[in-house]
């Protein structure tokens, strides 16, 4: 997932540079998210400040082999938890971790001193998640997480279902192989395959 996160962030920055109307979207890596989902009483903002000072706004995390996308929507002044396996009662598998992340992120914004007004405003944000697709399998939550990140515009989630996953698998594999960061490695592997010694 972290490789895709890097690709997502790179593309988001290019899109924002090309269009002033685009909102900035950024996904933190697993490293910082592991720190942000800690119990708020034990959270140490200093451990996240370096990465945070450059980035903000959207996260992913994993627990019990399940992915969900907690989102801090600064534009709408809301928190969202996009979980493709919500329980009938409305509570997802990862709600407690998401709530920890939201509290710790507010603490981190305050500790960074980059946006004091934002830190105060975030204390008033409400948890309000727009309707979003639910998976029918037990193994597509990672792909749904990616689809949530790509298809949420800050107000509504585009419609999709499990039928998108097979094509998404192929597209992601091709995108990751063809990513500019992999070109030397792919060419070397191809050369070794085509010309064995």
Q: Can you tell me the distance from the alpha carbon of 78 to that of 93, in angstroms, rounded to the nearest whole number?
A: 20
Q: Which domains are present in the chain?
A: 2-158 (3.40.395.10)
pLDDT per position as a tens digit, 126-142:
888 888 998 888 888 88
For residue 171, CA distances in Å to 48, 139, 160 come to: 32, 18, 16
**R_g of the chain, CA atoms, integer Å:** 18
Read off the pLDDT band of 34 (50, 70, 90): confident
What pLDDT was estimated at residue 186? 64
pLDDT per position as a tens digit, 115-125:
778 878 888 88
Span 56-81, average pLDDT: 69
pTM of the model: 0.68
For residue 9, CA distances in Å to 21, 26, 27, 30, 79 come to: 17, 6, 7, 14, 20
Does residue 20 contact residue 151 with C-beta atoms inside 8 Å?
no
66-73 sheet: strands from edge to edge: 61-63, 66-73, 78-82, 126-127
């Amino acid at each position: 997932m972290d490789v895709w996160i890097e690709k997502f962030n790179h593309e988001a920055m290019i899109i924002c540079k090309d269009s002033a109307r685009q909102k900035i979207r950024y996904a933190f890596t697993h490293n910082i998210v592991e720190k942000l989902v800690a119990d708020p009483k034990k959270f140490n903002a200093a451990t996240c400040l370096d990465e945070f000072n450059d980035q903000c706004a959207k996260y992913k995390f994993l627990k019990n082999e399940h992915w969900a996308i907690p989102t801090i929507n600064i534009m709408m002044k809301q928190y969202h938890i996009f979980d493709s396996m919500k329980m009938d009662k409305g509570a997802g598998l990862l709600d407690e971790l998401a709530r920890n992340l939201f509290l710790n992120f507010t603490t981190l914004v305050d500790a960074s001193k980059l946006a004091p007004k934002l830190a105060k405003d975030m204390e008033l944000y409400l948890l309000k998640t727009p309707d979003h697709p639910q998976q029918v399998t037990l193994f597509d939550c990672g792909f749904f997480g990616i689809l949530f990140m790509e298809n949420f515009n800050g107000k509504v989630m585009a419609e999709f279902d499990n039928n998108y996953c097979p094509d998404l698998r192929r597209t992601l594999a091709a995108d990751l192989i063809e990513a500019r960061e992999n070109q030397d490695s792919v060419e070397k592997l191809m050369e070794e395959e085509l010309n064995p010694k």
